A and B are shown apart, each in its own frame.
Chain A
């Protein structure tokens, strides 16, 4: 009996807080049928926002994947000066407010920033432009690959790598043929999380993008812009795209976890 009560409480809480709200995105987006969704989807602003969101992720995710694997290798396999600081710094993006990240980038790359005017003289604009949005997205999605790969590296140990190098394999050969194949699912899981975060980031991008309609609006920024402009069909259509990406992420996470357990 007590078990049933607890189950009911837990499921009721999840229903009210998670399931109903997310169902609401779909209900509201299709409230007036497919017409408004299709109309909003085919507007140039929506298509540009979708393209921009994917373009930013296309730079940020590979950059953080390469860094993530390197950093995890460094943290697990090597001792170096400042290791504990690096280890702590990796987690900073998890616990920091996205608005603070945006401000930090403005203070470095903005008009009165540390390197902003130097860059501006050379015709490079970072803030209110694509480079700033990429830097912002890289910042907030740094930890995922590191934190997924590091425990796998610790688990597999160094025996196989040592065997490979005894047999004459170079460092790079060992990495590509021994280490990488053993950590690949950790890397993939980290990439899924990084991609989800990169596609869905709002606060940091809202600060550094300047929210210029049709130019620096990503999908998440478009959601807010359409909502503030009382274009609810537009807001829900962009939300629908993002919610579908979120559900795809959840699905991939579960497939990968199931594979890990198998």
Chain B
């Protein structure tokens, strides 16, 4: 009984609307689909979106692992507060994030740093909204990690760097990649935080979701649907990759 209700609710709320996007995108056939994706503005938009997403994910893999390490292995006053602050990007509405980043790192910012209406602004907005993913994915694994191996390596004379590379990193890799995959999915679809900070200049700072938004506003729902389908396919690919990663992460579990 319950599963029937759950399936129907999910189908009506999620599956039917998404099917409508796919239907609209494929209504014109393959030729129209390729024409819509082939326009120079769309190509520039997608190049920026994916380039920025990969850059942000690379930064997050490093900073997220670092922050998780500091939260788990270090001890300092105010640590609980720092740990709580990590979730701020999940709790703060994206439009507020965009506004506040613009206030701090925009033309009239107090620090004299201005990244507004530039690609650096896009990166900054994406770094803000994706910050928690790698941290929250690595933290529990690091907490569980047995320190015997590290101590054994240290007693055999391994340096900190070698212990990190040879023991800690391989154990954390599935978690880092899971967090990175979620951050990537979030980055390619992000709208609210980017829309104020990037200035949305076509061929320069217009990301995919802002482009889709513009097409909806101008009544070109078919063009919007074509780019949307591409983003949808990538979201699903990320979910599949996450599933595979989870299995890989548990490969040594009983």
Contacts and interface: CB of A to CB of B under 8 A. Distances in A.
Given A74-B2, A200-B91, A242 B96 contact: yes
Nearest to A97: B189
For the residues of A in contact with B, the DSSP-based class is helix
B10 A107 contact: no
B248 interface: no
Interface residues of B, number: 80
B151 interface: no
Interface of A: 2-3, 6-7, 9-11, 13-14, 17-22, 24-25, 28, 67, 70-71, 73-74, 78, 80, 82-83, 86, 88-108, 110, 112-114, 135, 138-139, 142, 193, 196, 199-203, 206-207, 219-221, 223-224, 227, 235-236, 239, 242-243, 246-247, 249-251, 253-254
B100 A22 contact: yes
Nearest to A18: B88
Contacts, number: 251
Contacts of B140: none
B91 A224 contact: no
Given A97-B190, A239-B96, A250-B87, A6 B212 contact: no
Given A97-B190, A201-B93, A250-B91, A108 B6 contact: no
Q: Of B15, B17, B80, which is in contact with the most chain A CB atoms at under 10 Å from its CB? A: B17
B196 A224 contact: yes
Nearest to A226: B99
Contacts of A202: 93-95, 191-192
Nearest to A224: B95
Interface stretch (B29-37, B38-46, B64-72, B172-180): B64-72
Nearest to B105: A21
B185 A94 contact: yes
Contacts of B66: 6, 9-10, 13
Contact of B13 (A106, A139, A219): A139
B99 A103 contact: no
